[in-house]
Structure 1
Protein backbone atom coordinates (compact mmCIF):
# COMPACT_ATOMS: atom_id res chain seq x y z
CA UNK A 1 0.00 0.00 0.00
CA UNK A 2 1.23 3.50 -0.84
CA UNK A 3 -0.06 6.47 1.13
CA UNK A 4 0.56 10.08 0.09
CA UNK A 5 0.37 12.84 2.66
CA UNK A 6 -0.46 16.30 1.37
CA UNK A 7 -1.76 19.51 2.85
CA UNK A 8 -1.04 23.13 3.47
CA UNK A 9 1.39 24.67 5.92
CA UNK A 10 0.51 23.74 9.49
CA UNK A 11 -1.94 21.00 8.51
CA UNK A 12 -0.10 18.24 10.39
CA UNK A 13 1.81 16.48 7.61
CA UNK A 14 4.98 16.24 9.68
CA UNK A 15 3.12 14.92 12.69
CA UNK A 16 1.35 12.21 10.70
CA UNK A 17 4.62 11.32 8.97
CA UNK A 18 6.42 11.01 12.30
CA UNK A 19 3.66 8.76 13.69
CA UNK A 20 3.82 6.49 10.64
CA UNK A 21 7.63 6.32 10.78
CA UNK A 22 7.47 5.43 14.49
CA UNK A 23 5.10 2.59 13.62
CA UNK A 24 7.65 1.19 11.17
CA UNK A 25 6.28 2.46 7.88
CA UNK A 26 8.79 3.16 5.12
CA UNK A 27 8.77 6.86 4.40
CA UNK A 28 10.01 8.95 1.46
CA UNK A 29 10.22 12.66 2.22
CA UNK A 30 10.02 14.41 -1.15
CA UNK A 31 10.50 17.82 0.44
CA UNK A 32 13.85 16.68 1.82
CA UNK A 33 14.82 15.19 -1.54
CA UNK A 34 13.89 18.42 -3.32
CA UNK A 35 16.20 20.38 -0.99
CA UNK A 36 19.08 18.18 -2.15
CA UNK A 37 18.12 18.25 -5.83
CA UNK A 38 18.09 22.05 -6.12
CA UNK A 39 21.70 22.18 -4.90
CA UNK A 40 22.81 20.50 -8.14
CA UNK A 41 24.49 23.11 -10.41
CA UNK A 42 22.67 21.76 -13.51
CA UNK A 43 19.31 22.13 -11.76
CA UNK A 44 20.20 25.64 -10.58
CA UNK A 45 21.07 26.55 -14.18
CA UNK A 46 17.70 25.26 -15.38
CA UNK A 47 15.88 27.12 -12.62
CA UNK A 48 17.69 30.33 -13.58
CA UNK A 49 16.82 29.85 -17.26
CA UNK A 50 13.14 29.15 -16.50
CA UNK A 51 12.39 31.50 -13.61
CA UNK A 52 15.09 34.17 -13.67
CA UNK A 53 17.49 35.44 -11.05
CA UNK A 54 14.73 36.71 -8.73
CA UNK A 55 14.57 33.23 -7.18
CA UNK A 56 18.23 33.42 -6.13
CA UNK A 57 20.08 35.09 -3.28
CA UNK A 58 23.66 34.85 -4.45
CA UNK A 59 23.82 31.12 -5.31
CA UNK A 60 21.09 29.98 -2.92
CA UNK A 61 17.64 29.15 -4.33
CA UNK A 62 14.91 31.07 -2.55
CA UNK A 63 12.43 28.21 -2.23
CA UNK A 64 9.61 30.43 -1.00
CA UNK A 65 9.99 32.79 -3.97
CA UNK A 66 10.22 29.83 -6.38
CA UNK A 67 7.06 28.36 -4.84
CA UNK A 68 5.20 31.64 -5.25
CA UNK A 69 6.10 31.78 -8.93
CA UNK A 70 5.35 28.12 -9.63
CA UNK A 71 2.07 27.84 -7.78
CA UNK A 72 0.58 31.13 -9.07
CA UNK A 73 0.75 29.92 -12.66
CA UNK A 74 -0.65 26.49 -13.66
CA UNK A 75 1.70 26.45 -16.67
CA UNK A 76 4.71 26.54 -14.33
Structure 2
Protein backbone atom coordinates (compact mmCIF):
# COMPACT_ATOMS: atom_id res chain seq x y z
CA UNK A 1 0.00 0.00 0.00
CA UNK A 2 3.02 2.29 0.18
CA UNK A 3 2.86 2.80 -3.57
CA UNK A 4 -0.79 3.82 -3.31
CA UNK A 5 0.11 6.33 -0.58
CA UNK A 6 2.65 7.98 -2.88
CA UNK A 7 0.22 8.22 -5.81
CA UNK A 8 -1.52 11.65 -5.95
CA UNK A 9 -5.24 11.60 -5.22
CA UNK A 10 -5.93 14.19 -7.93
CA UNK A 11 -4.31 11.96 -10.55
CA UNK A 12 -6.42 8.99 -9.48
CA UNK A 13 -9.53 11.17 -9.66
CA UNK A 14 -8.70 12.30 -13.22
CA UNK A 15 -8.00 8.71 -14.29
CA UNK A 16 -11.26 7.50 -12.76
CA UNK A 17 -13.28 10.26 -14.41
CA UNK A 18 -11.74 9.79 -17.85
CA UNK A 19 -10.87 6.11 -18.24
CA UNK A 20 -13.50 4.97 -15.78
CA UNK A 21 -16.36 6.72 -17.57
CA UNK A 22 -15.17 6.60 -21.20
CA UNK A 23 -16.88 6.45 -23.66
CA UNK A 24 -19.28 9.06 -22.38
CA UNK A 25 -21.98 8.79 -25.07
CA UNK A 26 -24.64 7.35 -25.04
CA UNK A 27 -23.90 6.36 -21.42
CA UNK A 28 -20.70 5.75 -19.46
CA UNK A 29 -19.27 2.32 -20.23
CA UNK A 30 -18.90 1.33 -16.59
CA UNK A 31 -22.57 2.15 -15.99
CA UNK A 32 -23.57 -0.06 -18.93
CA UNK A 33 -21.48 -2.96 -17.59
CA UNK A 34 -22.85 -2.59 -14.05
CA UNK A 35 -26.39 -2.70 -15.44
CA UNK A 36 -25.48 -5.84 -17.40
CA UNK A 37 -24.00 -7.40 -14.25
CA UNK A 38 -27.15 -6.67 -12.23
CA UNK A 39 -29.38 -7.98 -15.03
CA UNK A 40 -27.34 -11.18 -15.29
CA UNK A 41 -26.34 -10.60 -18.92
CA UNK A 42 -22.63 -10.01 -18.30
CA UNK A 43 -21.42 -13.29 -19.77
CA UNK A 44 -19.01 -12.60 -22.62
CA UNK A 45 -15.31 -12.43 -21.69
CA UNK A 46 -14.94 -9.05 -23.41
CA UNK A 47 -17.73 -7.61 -21.26
CA UNK A 48 -16.14 -8.95 -18.07
CA UNK A 49 -12.79 -7.48 -19.14
CA UNK A 50 -14.49 -4.14 -19.84
CA UNK A 51 -16.05 -4.11 -16.38
CA UNK A 52 -12.68 -4.79 -14.77
CA UNK A 53 -10.81 -2.34 -17.01
CA UNK A 54 -13.22 0.56 -16.47
CA UNK A 55 -13.83 -0.30 -12.81
CA UNK A 56 -10.18 -0.58 -11.75
CA UNK A 57 -9.57 3.21 -11.53
CA UNK A 58 -12.63 3.56 -9.29
CA UNK A 59 -11.41 0.74 -7.05
CA UNK A 60 -7.99 2.37 -6.73
CA UNK A 61 -9.58 5.74 -5.92
CA UNK A 62 -11.82 4.15 -3.28
CA UNK A 63 -8.83 2.37 -1.71
CA UNK A 64 -6.82 5.60 -1.67
CA UNK A 65 -9.62 7.63 -0.09
CA UNK A 66 -10.34 4.92 2.48
CA UNK A 67 -6.67 4.67 3.35
CA UNK A 68 -6.43 8.45 3.76
CA UNK A 69 -9.51 8.54 6.00
CA UNK A 70 -8.38 5.73 8.27
CA UNK A 71 -4.65 6.46 8.44
CA UNK A 72 -3.60 8.12 11.68
CA UNK A 73 -1.94 11.52 11.22
Is TM more than 0.5 here?
A: no
TM-score, length basis structure 1 = 0.28
Larger RCO (CA within 8 A; separation ≥ 6): 2
Larger Rg: 1
Give the helix-richer structure, 1 or 2. 2
- The TM-score with structure 2 as length reference comes to 0.28
